[in-house]
Amino acid sequence: MRTQGGGRVEYPQRFFRLSLHHDSLENMFRVNFVMMQHHKYSLTELENMFPWEREIYTNMLREHIEEENERLRAEKNRHGGI
């Protein structure tokens, strides 16, 4: 690891800044809210996740919701839209 002035670590900070550039603060709060309200995550669990770990869980949850919505649509179509 490279250090800069007084032993400050630079590379990990730069890595996380680059890896999270696509996520806004507002989006982070919205996703936290949805995950807490609808999927029973606690704020502590969400805050203790590594940024890459949170991204993985968020993607897995999105995929699960899309699959569930598709299953419900197919079921609705089978029953004639009732």
How many residues in the chain?
82
- The number of domains in the chain is 1
Side chain identity, residue 10: E
DSSP element (H, E) containing 76: helix 51-78
Quick check: pTM over 0.75? no
Give pLDDT tens digits for 39-62.
Answer: 899 999 999 999 889 989 999 999
In the chain, the percentage of residues whose pLDDT exceeds 70 is 71
DSSP 8-state code for residue 81: T
Average confidence (pLDDT) over 10-19: 53
Q: Is the C-alpha dihedral spanning 12, 17, 18, 20 positive or negative?
A: positive
Structural contact between residues 13 and 1, judged by C-beta atoms closer than 8 angstroms? no
Residue 9: helix, strand or coil by DSSP?
A: strand
Q: Which domain holds residue 12?
A: 3-78
